[in-house]
Amino acid sequence: MKLGASPAILNLEAAPRGLYAAHPIGAQTFFHANQYETLNIPQSYGNSSVHRIARVKQMVPPPDTPAAFAHALGDQQDHSWPIFHDEASHKAGDLSDWTLATALFDLRAKTLQIFWGNPRHGVVLRHLALPA
């Protein structure tokens, strides 16, 4: 994909056999949950992905700042299939796996935050500057 002179943030989905889809990300919030959103190939949809995508769609207004994204990534309102999985979510009835790590890339600020535990608690394990 040829890019123009101005910087762009792309959503890139890649699949086996060299299949991919690349689309510029605009002002609208875009969320993935272990499934392709723009690449049109056969796929199965797990309960966890379906529930997490449905939960994000309920968030009004949709997250639009790094703090709001961190808050959304820590959401546990769907007790059976929360966005963030930890000891607390499993005690509340979580039927899925565990969240191993949460990373928040802010490409406009050129930073990466890696959270310790639920991002809603705001404990940043590492804050890194990304190369320009």
Closest CA to 89 of 77, 101, 104: 77
Backbone φ and ψ for 13, nearest 5 degrees, come out as: -110, 130
- Are 95 and 82 within 8 A, CB to CB? no
Burial, 18: exposed, middle or buried (Cβ in 10 Å; 0-12, 13-18, 19+)?
exposed
User: pTM value?
Assistant: 0.85
Domain boundaries, the chain: 10-129
Backbone φ and ψ for 7, nearest 5 degrees, come out as: -60, 145
Strand partners, 83: none
Q: What is the pLDDT of residues 36-59, one digit of tens each?
A: 988 989 998 899 999 999 999 999
Whether residue 1 is predicted with pLDDT greater than 60 in this model: the reply is no
Q: What is the pLDDT of residues 7-21, one digit of tens each?
A: 778 889 999 999 999
